[in-house]
Structure 1
Amino acid sequence: MGMTLIEKILANHSKESVVKPGDIIDVEIDIRAARDFGGANVVKNIQEHKLKIADPKKTYFTFDCNPTGSDQKYAINQQICRLFARDNGVKVFDINTGIGTHTLIEQGLAYSGITAVTTDSHANILGAVGAFGQGMGDKDIAAAIHKGKVWFKVPKSVKINLNGKRPERIYAKDIVLELLNRFGANSLLGYSVEIYGGEVDHLTLDERITISSMATEMGCIIILFTPNDSIMEYSQFRNGRKFDVVKADPDAEYDQVFEIDLEEFVPRVSLPGEPHNTVPVSKVRGVKIDSAFIGSCTNGRMEDFRIVADILKGKKVAPGVVFKIVPATDEIWNECLKEGLINIFKEAGAMVSNAGCAGCAAGQVGQNGEGEVTISTGNRNFPGKQGKGKVYLASPATVVASAIAGCIVPHDEIPEHPVTFGPRKEIEVGTILHSSSEVLIRPKRIEGRAWYIPMDNIDTDMIYHNRYLSITDTDEMGQYTFDNLEGYEDFAQKAKSGDIVITHKNFGSGSSRQQAVDCFKALGIQGILAESYGAIYERNAINAAFPIMTCVDVSRLNLTDGDTIRLDLETGKITNTTKNISVQGERFSEVQLEIYQNGGLF
């Protein structure tokens, strides 16, 4: 039996000649990188544990979340990384470079068959060139930099065949929003996805980047494409040498195969709050917007800006609408300048910023305010992700058309006159909650008061919002736990040391931030029980020796808040002692138990 594409890549980077789903292996990592918000914590882990660097030439820092250094804590963290890099001969892609994952492709470092880990939860964007990229927390990255390898569980693979002819004026963003609509945020949770089809073979690098970049929002480990000839030529030119394409074996075995008719696809938008909650653009036609954003690791490419310029040329941004444009890399920015696109953007009334993550990270070009409606090409629109406003996600064509119209419109239905604003609404101001932190105890059997949160897809911005990412002192983190989760904003005030949080599917989806684990530890929360976890969150919790258990149907426990629940980490037995109900969950794996007994990855 042959191997899938991800199995092929992982086997090539391990001591095993063949790997299969469920195998836990040590994987050699070709690229070990840290971003500006996670980098300082990576340095802290390395220095505190006196770790050596396995290979400085394979180690990088990328400053893309706040590439202006406009926030003092970001600026400090960036300088911590610069000083460490100087002392250890490590390459820094500084604030003038752009988004790290794009830089790795652009510099020829990421190409077919290589492995990479970064503190960016969208490292799986490298699937666009047939490479394995994985976002991980700061402990994982520190260990990878020290050892040159990480432990990894080989995921199951699914194949998606996109059949038929691609409809005219259907963009790559429309394709991935349709896939999100069909598969949701967790039906492919933990899978590696390979996409094939006649039209797929003709997708450009920029289009593949758009689709691969939203694997995280779909809950996948990665979305992988097999490079075509033009992408191989691009990678070889950028790298400066020839290499072979890595492909899945013809007899590879997939857990599931999906046949999807591409001809049914229509332009789509994600409704505010959930990237996977998408509808045809026509369903939200006329929704008034305050701002628009083109950029992010999903749609900050040259082809995107050519589409924008073609629609925007000779037109103006609607009065009162703020239109922000941010290229993914400095090379793309300069190409926009060379082709005259910057001039088109500026004459139309857009604001153009230096390369970076920009609006997606709510830092570089500012956030949106409460009551503000934004249409964005970003990959996430979780509540609070880009500020306090509402965010719709769409293709660059839909976004620029909406910026001209002053309201959401299909890209080929721009009205002759823009929509004007009505009276503004009253703004309600929220409250930031605080609490003290306590130390977590780590027995093999834990028992405590249940906090039952019957929700799917609780993402890391809901758990620990990105406005607190510059905090490096774990004791400070607990006070902000769940303060962005509707209905649980006072969790940190009410939680007690020893409590256990129980929730449903895909807990911890989204970002790679370690803080979303550490905030619970700071509060003294004993552990978490969920039906499933975001892949990066699961690793971060395991590596931090924070007890997380999985049970496919927690509703069988008949839980109410305040019940006493017992988790046996070794056997997997879960008991609601208040109601004398027991169910079987997943016991700790050998790796998880070893790390747990060791008190953490280090």
Structure 2
Amino acid sequence: MTLIEKIIANHSKESFVKPGDIVDIDIDIRVARDFGGANVVKNIHDYQLKVADPEKTFFTFDCNPTGSDQKYAVNQQICRLFARDNGLKVFDINNGIGTHTLIEKGLAYSGTTAVTTDSHANILGAIGAFGQGMGDKDIAAAFHHGKVWFKVPKSVKINLNGKRPKGVFAKDIVLGLLNRFGANSLLGCAVEIYGEEVDRFTLDERITIASMATEMGCIIILFTPNEAIMEYSEFRNGKKLEVVRVDADAHYDQVYELNLESFVARVSLPGEPHNTVPVSEAKGTPIDSAFIGSCTNGRMEDFRIAASILKGRKIAPEVVFKIVPATDEIWKTCLKEGLIHIFKEAGAMVSNAGCAGCAAGQVGQNGEGEVTISTGNRNFPGKQGKGDVYLASPATVVASAIAGCIVPYDQIPKTPCIHDITSEKIVEPALHHSIFDANKPKSVEGRVWYIPMDNIDTDMIYHNRYLTITQMEEMGQYTFDNLKGYEDFASKVQVGDIVVVHKNFGSGSSRQQAVDCFKSLGVQAIVAESYGAIYERNAINAAFPIVTCTDILELKLADGDKISVDFETGELVNLTKDISVQGEGFSEVQLEIYQNGGLF
């Protein structure tokens, strides 16, 4: 078996699993964040559930670690009170990013399983562990049962051959992988990375690469821990641990041979993490702000690199440089090593540990018309604010902050550039108050909303500024208000409509609201060529009909066409044009949950 198959088999009643199998997995670590945590508690209360094992169940407050937003503060307190009543550990607002905490505290290590309300829980692949971001219902079920159902993914092997070129950092490598594979060619796969140079990758470098599996559409990127990483895990855990390794005769769906020597320093252009170019092609682009942090690049090695370039220099005039360590332990180490002094002397702003701008609850957000270069993992429109965001390595980010424009880390000019930047105004959302009537037909007919786009992520569907909303009736009005060209969707959609899109619908964050907003509006179903893995689970668990069909183009759809969708057989018919195609019917699990009215 492959790594993912061995870990799943080890945590199930099966001795052998293969792609496509649906099995119940025992979960070693069950986590809810301040984002989603209050909804997890609400599900547990609503369905009168109990916590299966308090010692394996945690809360992590990393989205709004400053407690600066009233709604987040309320949600955090709901979680604290629940934790006190049930004997759960809370890693509170002074701690840092939850996934990093699991590694730092020795809770996660080679072969373990963890689920959280963080779509980047697959960062645990850096240490050879299974980590998955899941929605509120899944996490509530994990709290209660100690296990979740899971479909064994296909495994893909990537061999990185040759040596890493000088000046190419871990972030450049993962941006190179994104450039090669895009956002959906590895959709739903578990990826294992090997190579002689890979064996020497540090823990921090592996975290950087593993953390962007979500942006590649992967279930997870897995590394087999080397000796140094196992020593780290054993020290943190306090006991001797065994490495889970792939079998010599493991079967992979695809094997790719890539030349590491061809990789170069890269940046992602605004709007799409996978739309990357060499830094040299973006050189000279003026910036207003720079950011180092996030679960991708908030590690000690990142800050040592930044400090080595920044020491004795100043940030360019009119550029705001924001620095956010991933954990409080890293923050303290930066202080001990004198890095905080270097940052502050250069004119940088240093915040307490947390997710920062990616989660809209801390420094890192940018304003309309602002251009930011960031070490984050996402630069979807609106994700880190109203402005444009370029993604790059810490070395490129700090060099650009000094220069006032994007530059390679070894080409910092003597005199910084100063520029004026403007942007277009964003349309405000319309309101809609219709509420979905949850009957359960096995086939439906409805008017089509045809949106011929790939990679519509959850920030486009339901933006993170509305994540504190827990009442479904309020969610519908914000649907697609961050999807260009469809900002007025909520005011025009009709009860009974069916949305049809292309590949990788619902990629990105684990938010349940990106499903529930459609239910709120009365949308009957969504049809897509493929879905983001977490979104697919969220829809199934919420009993919201989603159907997969790879032949959507053959339906020759136009807005307003009437179609029928059969959930059991997967047949789709364009009733307006009398064209039918075959999609995928509901799986046994999906049909059972759908007929039950939801996971609970």
TM-score range, shorter chain: over 0.9
Equivalent residue, structure 1, for 2:69: 71
For residues 335 and 553 of structure 1, the distance between their equivalents in structure 2, rounded to whole angstroms, comes to 54
1:227 — aligned with what?
225
Distance, in Å, in 2 between the alignment partners of 1:467 and 1:126 is 27
Q: Structure 1 length normalisation: TM-score? A: 0.99
Structure 2: which amino acid aligns with 1:258? Y
Among 439, 442, 451, the residue aligned to 2:440: 442
SS in 1 for 2:599: coil
Task: Please give the per-residue CA displacement for 1:547-581, whole angstroms capped at 9, x wherever unaligned.
Answer: 00000120110000001111100111111111111
The within-5 A match list for 1:269-418 is: 269-365=267-363, 367-418=365-416
Q: State the Cα distance separating 1:427 from its structure 2 match.
A: 5.7
Distance in 1 separating the partners of 2:20 and 2:426: 47
Counterpart of 2:430?
A: 433
CA distance in 2, matches of 1:357, 1:551: 36
- Mapping of residues 170-185 of structure 1, within 5 Å: 170-185=168-183
Q: Secondary structure at the match of 2:325?
A: coil
1:139-154 alignment, distance < 5 Å: 139-154=137-152
Alignment correspondent of 1:160: 158
Opposite residue 571 of structure 2, the aligned amino acid is K
Change (3 A) 1:426 1:18: closer
Report deviation, 1:181. Answer: 0.3
Deviation of 1:55 (Å): 0.2
From 52, 55, 59, the counterpart of 2:53: 55
- How far, CA to CA, are the matches of 1:534 and 1:490 in structure 2? 24
- Give the secondary-structure state (helix, strand or coil) at the position aligned to 1:21: coil
Which structure 2 residue ranges, 5 or more long, are not aligned?
none
What is the aligned counterpart of 1:81 among 79, 82, 100? 79
Amino acid at match of 1:135: G
Q: Does 1:555 align with 2:553?
A: yes
Root-mean-square deviation over aligned CA pairs:
0.8
Q: What code does the residue aligned with 1:460 have?
A: T
- The corresponding residue for 2:490 is 492
Aligned-pair CA distance for 1:243: 1.4
Aligned residue pair count = 599
- Which stretches of structure 1, 4 residues or longer, exceed 3 Å deviation after superposition? 424-427
* CA drift at 1:430: 2.8
Task: Read off the aligned partner of 2:417 and give its amino acid letter.
Answer: V
Q: Quick check: 1:24–1:151 contact (8 Å CA) kept in 2?
A: yes
Give the Å deviation of 1:425: 3.5
d(CA) in 2 for partners of 1:574 and 1:247?
43
Give the deviation of 1:426 after TM superposition.
Answer: 6.8
Counterpart selection for 1:564 from 547, 562, 571: 562
Contact 1:442 1:526 in 2 (8 A): no
Could you say what secondary structure the match of 1:293 adopts?
Answer: strand
Tell me by how many angstroms 1:366 deviates. Answer: 5.2
Matches within 5 A, 1:185-264: 185-264=183-262
Percent identical pairs in the alignment equals 80
Q: Which residue is equivalent to 1:517?
A: 515
Q: Which residue of 2 aligns with 1:574?
A: 572
Distance in 1 (alpha carbons) for counterparts of 2:409 and 2:48: 55
Say if 1:598 and 1:290 are closer, same or farther in 2 by CA, change over 3 A: same
Deviations 1:356-377 (A, max 9, x none): 0002222211521111000000
C-alpha distance in structure 2 between counterparts of 1:281 and 1:363, whole Å: 29
Amino acid at match of 1:364: Q
Q: What is the SS of the residue equivalent to 2:7?
A: helix
Distance in 2 separating the partners of 1:522 and 1:231: 46
Query: Partners in 2 of 1:427 and 1:564 — Cα distance?
Result: 36
Offset of residue 486 of structure 1: 0.2
Per the TM alignment, residue 433 of structure 1 is displaced from its structure 2 partner at its CA by 1.7
**Distance of 1:448 and 1:429 partners within structure 2:** 31
Distance 2:570 2:116 in 1: 31
Amino acid aligned to 2:429: I
Deviations 1:125-163 (A, max 9, x none): 000000000000000000011000000000000000000
Q: Secondary structure at the match of 1:501?
A: strand
State the partner residue of 2:537: 539
Q: TM-score, normalised by structure 2?
A: 0.99
Q: Does the CA contact (< 8 Å) of 1:437 and 1:476 recur in 2?
A: no
1:461, distance to aligned residue in structure 2 (A): 0.2
Secondary structure class of the residue paired with 2:538: helix
Cα deviation digits, residues 272-296 of structure 1 (max 9, x gap): 0000000000001000000000000
Counterpart of 2:5 in structure 1 is 7
Once residues 434 and 472 of structure 2 are traced to their aligned partners in structure 1, the CA distance between those partners, rounded to angstroms, is 9
**Is residue 569–residue 588 contact of structure 1 (8 Å, CA) maintained in 2?**
yes
Following the alignment from structure 1 to structure 2, what is the Cα–Cα distance between the partners of residues 8 and 19?
8
Could you tell me how far 1:439 is from its partner in structure 2?
A: 1.7
Give the AA of the match of 1:260.
L
Q: Structure 1's 345 and 318: CA in aligned 2 closer, same or farther, altered over 3 A?
A: same
Q: Is the 8 Å Cα contact of residues 127 and 225 (structure 2) preserved in structure 1?
A: yes
Distance in structure 2 (CA, Å) of the matches to 1:36 and 1:355: 15
Secondary structure, counterpart of 1:556 in structure 2 = helix
Q: Which residue of the partner structure matches residue 419 of structure 1?
A: 417
- How far 1:583 sits from its partner (Å)? 0.5
Q: Structure 1 residues 429, 124: CA separation in 2 closer, same or farther (over 3 Å shift)? A: closer
Post-superposition Cα deviations, 1:46-88, rounded to whole Å, max 9, x if no partner, equal: 0000001110000000000010111100000000000000000
Are 1:36 and 1:63, in contact at CA under 8 Å, matched by a contact in 2?
A: yes
Q: Which runs of 5+ in 1 are unaligned?
A: none
How far apart in 2 are the matches of 1:136 and 1:155?
A: 16
Rounded Cα–Cα distance in structure 1 between residues aligned with 2:426 and 2:330: 39
Q: Render the CA deviation track for 1:94-139: whole Å, top value 9, x for unaligned.
A: 0000000000000000000000000000000000000000000000
Label 1:487 to 1:52 Cα distance change in 2 as closer, same or farther (>3 A).
same
Take 1:425 and 1:132, find their aligned partners in 2: how far apart are those partners? 43
Once the two structures are TM-superposed, the CA of residue 169 in structure 1 deviates from its matched residue by 1.4
Deviation at 1:429, TM superposition (A): 5.0
* CA–CA separation in structure 1 for the residues paired with 2:156 and 2:565: 32
Matching residue within 517, 526, 529 for 2:527: 529
Q: Where does residue 265 of structure 1 map in the other structure?
A: 263
In 1, distance between residues paired with 2:33 and 2:146?
Answer: 18
